[in-house]
Structure 1
């Protein structure tokens, strides 16, 4: 049996990182256009750090990154063209409830954010 050394493909660092999983089959979300995956990681070590998403191609190059400004997701739905995230960043709301809806375009990483608590759109 031949064992090879792991090959470093770039200098990117993903704190507490991993593939974003499709909740319907528990497999990494595999993007079909421009083959790639979504990496989910923290901006700093620990549960208080915001979750950042990065689209990476098969060579490990980042196509876009997005700071969700959330430290946990209430729910996450992948539609093929969009990633829909529900989350809570409002201390007045119980944990497990969501006040924020993010709709992320998987091609370019642009996000629309709506706060249900204030009934207002937010800027990225």
Structure 2
């Protein structure tokens, strides 16, 4: 079953990895952040080798967003994110896991300083 790990963050300025651009992330000594980055890269390599990592993307700043809404009888577009909120979608990974428990175990590993992680399964029709 496929799951999406959604990473919400508020880096200032916007950048990736988010740990380097969030207040809480910058409070961690550089050598510790580097070690955390290496652990994260090793986890992605492991997930790729096992076939559990399907894809992932880091997203550009919310200010680059173009939002489309249906108004009347046609779509209307506006600049910027759809909602005013502190945390925005910073990126995502798609995982293919045998069980929900495995997906939850992996999602917890994506949680980093200053980030909020959401795990959502694909909808089965």
User: Which structure features the higher share of strand residues?
Assistant: 1
Higher relative contact order (CA 8 A, sep 6+): 2
Larger Rg: 2
Please report the TM-score for the alignment, with normalisation by the length of structure 2: 0.25
